[in-house]
Amino acid sequence: MPAFKTPFNGYAVKFSPFYEQRLAVSTAQNFGILGNGRIHVIDLSPAGPIAEIAAYDTADGVYDVSWSESHDSLLVAAVADGSVKLYDLSLPPTSNPVRSLSEHTRETHSVDYNAVRRDSFLSSSWDDTIKLWTIDRPTSVRTFKEHAYCVYSAAWNPRHADVFASASGDCTARIWDVREPGSTMILPAHEFEILSCDWNKYDDAVIATSSVDKSIKVWDVRNYRVPVAVLNGHGYAVRKVKFSPHRASVIASCSYDMTVCLWDYMVEDSLIGRYDHHTEFAVGVDMSVLVEGLLASTGWDEFAYVWQHGTDPKAP
């Protein structure tokens, strides 16, 4: 499938939950250190090149993006100035962003939309906090402050509307229930910074964490003394980890070693795919909910790739 060239460094890529051909790519200038950002919304075409259907410029880099689970045209973005911005593709560019929520005091690093309740989303930040938002409120519903360092990732449980996990540079992952005053579980998951976490889509007690220690660990929160699996194979920090929407034990990951890997943590030889199409840090990866085996990645080489597992991402 064709690749999409971005003017800036890629940071995150997300498939639309409504249209199988649609993706959003968030980018940041100068590797996200200083400069502008841009969100691209692109459509795949079976025959022709990738078409850009919308692009939104920001004054600061965009570190993450998440599609609404209730409105097919709505996007949420995590911006380096600490803001969370909402964009509506059905409105003209001059009307966007439709909302800019500025509460985080440092960079917003991740956003995740609630797939169960469908009206709320999380943001996590380098200010060590996670915030809960709803679409109709101009201020956050709640701030979760327990982590001692940057919160790089927060992810909703796919079955429980009130439960989410967070991953932090303080070397812990935490499980939270928005109905409880504090976190309900602390996982001392790695000895180095934890950069990402995601829930198994078929077992709501299983999560994966990825770390600067180059490993991915799979945990069962019902018995978290030891990990269910430890996946080694990346050469540098593992930036993102994502469970398959179609196969319970399959995980995609991307790393500063410039590769995207596919794993099956239930088999002995767990590394089932390695793709080395990126020429710089691979920092964004996603799997399509609507098309089984369809992967997307982006990186600091200013490319976004979409491909079917088992095929060459660079093949035309």
Report the b/e string of 155-185 with b at 16+ CB within 10 A: bbbbeeebbbbbbbbbbbbbbbebeeeebee
- For residue 104, what are the contacts with CB-CB under 8 A and spacing of at least 6? 82, 83, 84, 123, 125, 126, 127, 129, 131
Mark the ranges of the chain whose per-residue pLDDT is less than 70.
none
* Distance, CA of 240 to chain centre: 7
- Return the pLDDT at 18: 98
Return the structure tokens found at 295.
């992967």
- Going across the sheet that includes 9-15, the strands are 9-15, 22-28, 37-43, 51-58
Contact 168, 147 (CB under 8 A): yes
**Which of 93, 68, 63, 55 is closest to 16 using CA atoms?**
68
Please state, in angstroms and rounded to a whole number, the distance separating the CA atoms of residues 168 and 129.
10
Cis bond leading into 97, ω under 30°? yes
Distance between CA atoms of 277 and 2, rounded to whole angstroms?
12
Give the CA diameter of the chain: 53
- Residues 200 and 216 sit within 8 Å (Cβ to Cβ): no
Of 245, 248, 246, 211, nearest in space to 230 by CA: 211
Query: In angstroms, rounded to a whole number, what is the distance separating the alpha carbons of residues 46 and 308?
Result: 13
pTM over 0.95: yes
The upper half-sphere exposure of residue 169, i.e. CA atoms within 13 Å in the direction of its Cβ, equals 12
Token pair belonging to 90: 């059905």
Angstrom distances, CA of residue 146 to CA of 128, 163, 220, 229: 8, 16, 22, 27
Residue 268: Cβ within 10 Å count: 5
Spatial strand order in the sheet of 229-231: 194-199, 206-211, 216-220, 229-231
For 77-105, letters b (16+ CB in 10 Å) and e give bbbbbbbbbbbbbeeeeeebbebebebbe
Backbone angles phi, psi at 201, to 5 degrees: -80, -10
Tell which residue, 26, 32, 34, has the closest CA to residue 10.
Answer: 26
